[in-house]
Amino acid sequence: MNRYSGEPFAIEFRKVSYRLKNGRELLRDLDLEILPGETLVMLGRSGSGKTTTLRLINRLLEASEGEVLVEGKSVSNWDVIGLRRSIGYVIQDIGLFPHFTVERNIGLIPKIEGWPPARITSRIRELLELVGLDPEVAARYPRELSGGQRQRVGVARALAADPPILLMDEPFGALDPITRSELQRAFLALQQRLRKTVVFVTHDLREALLLGSRIALIDSGHLVAIHEPEQFTSSADPLVSSYVGAFEGVGPRAV
């Protein structure tokens, strides 16, 4: 239970380890509590175990030890399809279906869930507006969009069935700096409106400071520290300060 409100945490890791079949340990004794409505940024260098952590939440992977809870219930007690449908998932490679138009991509889960067509259509229009896309792109195929537009469609698709939780795995990593900062601003505006529980993975400290309500630094499968952005940059932890030191001249989010 959450000590602030008595409600369950949105997501909770209890002593979670994850090992590959060959015995190699990718995550060790991870304890992490994520509050409803917060944006928790998981920060860490490539190969530190960020993606592995995310995939444990929607059960694309299963913990070797310990327990992952979503809305207070162990993921192994969830119906796996139901679990995933209540968690939006956005990945760096986006993974839009190339043979579906934008609207079919976005409307896929609502359609599978049996929503009436009129409701799907209006939901698609609403989502396009929400992620800042011209309704005109609805009929296009993913290959006819720019990288930034594609990633916006990826976010719209993840939000389609209005899941309370959103997992975002380096969603803006492949974009040019200008487009990336546009999408970061769009994300902040969107999160202001929606207040989803977001777990946002990045290796970019600037992005973490800009978007996170809290930042968790992960290194070689260990959770090193978890701080609010203001405290993060001044942390005395040697791993944190060396990560911060690698980004010279970066400060906390300007208010």
Partner 1 sequence: MNIFHFMLQNRAEILELTGEHLWLVGVSILIAVIIGIPLGILITRWPALNKPILGSANIVQTIPSLALFGFLLPVPWIGDRAGRLAILALTLYALLPLIRNTYIGIKGVDPAILEAGRGMGMTARQLLWQVELPLSAGVIIAGVRVATVICVGLATIAAAIGAGGLGEYIFRGLAMVNNQVILAGAIPAAAMALVADVCLGWLEKRLTPH
Q: Which of 9, 10, 30, 51 binds Mg ion (CB under 5 A)?
A: 51
Beta bridge partners of 19: 25
Name the binder of 95 from partner 1, ligand ADP, Mg ion, none, CB < 5-8 A by kind. partner 1
Contact status: 191 vs Mg ion (CB under 5 A): no
Q: Report the amino acid identity of residue 20.
A: L
Integer-rounded Cα radius of gyration of the chain: 18
Name the binder of 99 from partner 1, ligand ADP, Mg ion, none, CB < 5-8 A by kind. partner 1
Q: How many residues belong to the chain?
A: 255
- For the chain, the first-to-last Cα distance in angstroms comes to 32
Contact status: 157 vs partner 1 (CB under 8 A): yes
Q: Which of 41, 43, 51, 87 binds ligand ADP (CB under 6 A)?
A: 51
The Cα–Cα gap between 119 and 113 comes to 12
Q: Which of 1, 7, 31, 47 binds ligand ADP (CB under 6 A)?
A: 47
**Shortest distance in whole angstroms from residue 120 CB to partner 1:** 15
**Shortest distance in whole angstroms from residue 60 CB to ligand ADP:** 11
Is the distance from CB of 248 to CB of 228 less than 8 angstroms?
no
- Cβ atoms within 10 Å of 244's Cβ, excluding its own: 18
Name the binder of 88 from partner 1, ligand ADP, Mg ion, none, CB < 5-8 A by kind. partner 1
Residue 68 dihedral angles phi and psi, to the nearest 5°: -110, 130
Contact status: 28 vs ligand ADP (CB under 6 A): no
The Cα–Cα gap between 187 and 88 comes to 14
Residue 16 token pair: 């979670």
How many residues bind partner 1, per CB under 8 A?
26
Q: Which of residues 51-80 bind partner 1 (CB under 8 A)?
A: 58, 60
- Sequence-ordered list of residues with C-beta below 8 angstroms from that of 224, at least 6 positions apart, any chain: 217, 218, 237, 239, 240
Region of 42-50, 95-103, 135-143, 208-216 interacting with ligand ADP (CB under 6 A): 42-50
The residues that touch ligand ADP, with contacts defined as CB under 6 A, are 20, 26, 44, 46-52
